[in-house]
Each structure stands twice: as C-alpha cells, then as structure tokens.
C-alpha cells in the first residue's frame, strides 16, 4: 500500500549504534507448542502474541474471507489486532470477523487526525465500524515531523481527544506510531505514552541507523514496543512489477530470510511485530512465528553483514 513516500538517504555511511538486544530470558515470555509466544506490553499489564494481525490483511476481502483469516490467526494464538481508518475498508471487514473473539483480544486502532474535533469524529466512527465500545489501545498514526507534534499538543489538538476518551473508558491505553526518529523522540518527551509502534527491521537498523536510539529510549521509559516493517526488504526497485499491492515497500518472500528478519526484530526488547498485510505472506509469517528462536552474537554479525549489503527503507539522519 503506497501510503508513505520513500525516504531520501544520505550518500555516506552512517555510524551504527552499538546497542545489543536485551536478554530474551528477561522479557517475561510465555510460549506453547505451535502457538505464538506471548510477551508483556511494557508497563500496561497486558500480554500480547509476538505477531499481531494488521487490518490490511482483511482489506478488500469478502466477509467469509475476513472471518476465515481472523479465525486462522486466533488458532495460532494471535490476540493482538491493529487497524486504522486509512486501511481502506479494513475496519468494516474486521469488525464482524472479530466480534466472536472481541472479549479475548487486544484491539488497537489509530487516527491520523491531528486536531481534537477530527480525532473525536474518527474515534467514534472507528468504534462503530469495529462494533465495539472501546479500544484497548488508541494511537496517533504515522507522526512524521515536529510540526505535527506541535499541532497534536496544541489547544484543541488531538491529545485532548485521547485524554478525554480515556477518562470516559472509550480507550484503555494511549500510544503512537511514527516514521521518523525526531518525531518519535519528541513525542516521548511530551507525554508518558503506553506504547510505540515503530519500524524495527534488520536493514533499517544497521544500514539506516534508524531505530536503535528510539528503541532504547522507549525501553528506558518502560513503554510497550510494537514493531512495523520487520519483513521489509527495502523500497521497490524501479521498473519492477509490484507483486504485492498491499505492500508499499518490497517485502521479503523467502521463508529463510523471513525467519532471519523475524528473529532479529523479536530479539530486540519488542512485544510484538505486525507482518505485511498481504494475506499469503501473513500466513507464512504465522507459521514461522511459532518456531522463532532468539539470535546469538554470531547470528547478529551475519545479519549485520547482510543488512549493510542492501538499501534501507528509512535512514537517520535524513538528507
């Protein structure tokens, strides 16, 4: 889905931060055979499956297809579902499909509205579309620059909607997703968010220096860390047929490479990752996710070498 523009990158290499992932044994894991592991979501007290279900998986699907895709995810132990109004008809498809399981899952939604009135209207519409009376997590969606941050926290900004909705019980936790280091760091300085949804990917991390500083700050603040773009290969090359229309970036498709990428992301202090919205890639990710093991130090060296040989989707600092 072409909802973000590709980031321009610098022509020289960027020094990589020397942070190593947290000890996996300290992440309060819960794992069962052939069912996805569950991890604690920061300080919220929630436990989420290490793979979530992005609403794009049911975008443009029939009601029967939507129900089957949700049911399959539930069978794998998925209890984290994430959707947004900008995902086409995903909300109206996910609502009925998820209804039989609603009380047992963690439902997250987002808004790209930056002012109070727009955010309130979108929240109410999303609640209606999803056939629920509350969201377990409501997020500022795709915050990219500091001007947006200022608007969000201004008088009659979107944060007023979030705070009021939490008091009214319409949302339980408050988070954000971001597509820049500057926006993410500034948001964490402005408010004690419960969660962050952010690109955490081996190539973005090592070849783009994009992620280590944000993950470390979120970890220090005891936030729940949710990962985007874990299975991204990079920007679509020019003049290449885009075989996955739901992916605005080129995804990894080889199961071995997908496993490597998931292992990298889930070896960070991450609660859960959202695989690509393509339903076929999502099914592969579910299967791989039940067999993920943490990386050791030699694995990280190998992955770093592979990462530096490619072109990252995001880079910091931007040119």
Mean pLDDT score, 164-175: 98
CA distance 236 to 232: 10
Predicted TM-score (pTM) of this structure: 0.90
Q: With b meaning 16 or more CB within 10 Å and e meaning fewer, what string describes 103-122?
A: eebbbbbbbbbbbbeebbeb
The pLDDT value given to residue 6 = 26
Going by pLDDT thresholds of 50, 70 and 90, the confidence category of residue 220 is very high
Angle at 234 between CA 236 and CA 22, to 5 degrees: 160
Taking 50 as the threshold, does the pLDDT of residue 3 lie above it?
Answer: no
Is residue 41 within 8 Å of 224, Cβ to Cβ?
yes
Q: What is the pLDDT of residue 23?
A: 36
pLDDT digits (tens, 9 = 90+) for 116-153: 999 999 999 999 999 999 999 999 999 999 999 999 99
Distance between CA 193 and CA 90 in Å, rounded? 26
For position 239, what pLDDT does the model report?
87
C-beta neighbour count of 182 within 10 angstroms: 17
Residues 6+ apart with CB under 8 A from 121: 113
How far apart CA 248 and CA 7 sit, in angstroms, is 13
Q: What is the pLDDT of residues 235-255, one digit of tens each?
A: 999 988 899 999 999 999 999
Tokens of 211: 């992620």
State the residue for tokens 């070896």.
267
Domains in the chain, please, with CATH?
Answer: 45-307 (3.20.20.100)
Q: Rounded to whole angstroms, how far apart are CA atoms 157 and 74?
A: 36
CB 276 within 8 A of CB 30: no
Tell whether the model's pLDDT for residue 4 goes beyond 80: no
């Amino acid at each position: 889905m072409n909802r973000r523009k590709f980031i321009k990158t610098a022509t020289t290499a960027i020094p990589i931060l020397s942070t190593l992932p947290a000890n996996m044994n300290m992440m309060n894991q819960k794992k069962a055979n052939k069912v996805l592991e569950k991890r604690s979501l920061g300080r919220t007290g929630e436990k989420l499956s290490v793979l979530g279900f992005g609403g794009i998986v049911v975008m443009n699907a029939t009601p029967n297809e939507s129900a089957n895709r949700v049911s399959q995810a539930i069978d794998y132990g998925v209890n984290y579902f994430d959707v947004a109004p900008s995902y086409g008809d995903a909300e109206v498809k996910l609502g009925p499909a998820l209804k039989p399981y609603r009380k047992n899952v963690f439902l997250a939604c987002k808004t790209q509205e930056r002012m109070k009135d727009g955010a309130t209207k979108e929240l109410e519409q999303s609640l209606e579309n999803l056939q629920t009376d509350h969201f377990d997590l409501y997020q500022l969606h795709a915050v990219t620059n500091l001007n947006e941050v200022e608007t969000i926290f201004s008088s009659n900004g979107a944060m007023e909607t979030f705070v009021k909705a939490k008091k009214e019980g319409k949302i339980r936790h408050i988070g954000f997703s971001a597509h820049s280091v500057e926006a993410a760091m500034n948001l964490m300085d402005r408010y004690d968010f419960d969660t962050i949804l952010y690109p955490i990917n081996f190539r973005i991390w090592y070849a783009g220096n994009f992620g280590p500083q944000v993950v470390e700050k979120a970890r220090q603040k005891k936030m729940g860390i949710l990962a985007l773009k874990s299975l991204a290969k990079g920007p679509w090359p020019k003049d290449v047929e885009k075989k996955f229309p739901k992916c605005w970036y080129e995804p990894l498709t080889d199961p071995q490479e997908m496993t490597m990428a998931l292992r990298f992301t889930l070896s960070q202090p991450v609660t859960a990752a959202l695989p690509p919205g393509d339903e076929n890639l999502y099914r592969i990710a579910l299967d791989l996710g039940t067999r993920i093991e943490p990386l050791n130090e030699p694995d990280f060296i190998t992955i770093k070498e592979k990462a530096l040989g490619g072109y990252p989707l995001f880079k910091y600092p931007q040119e």
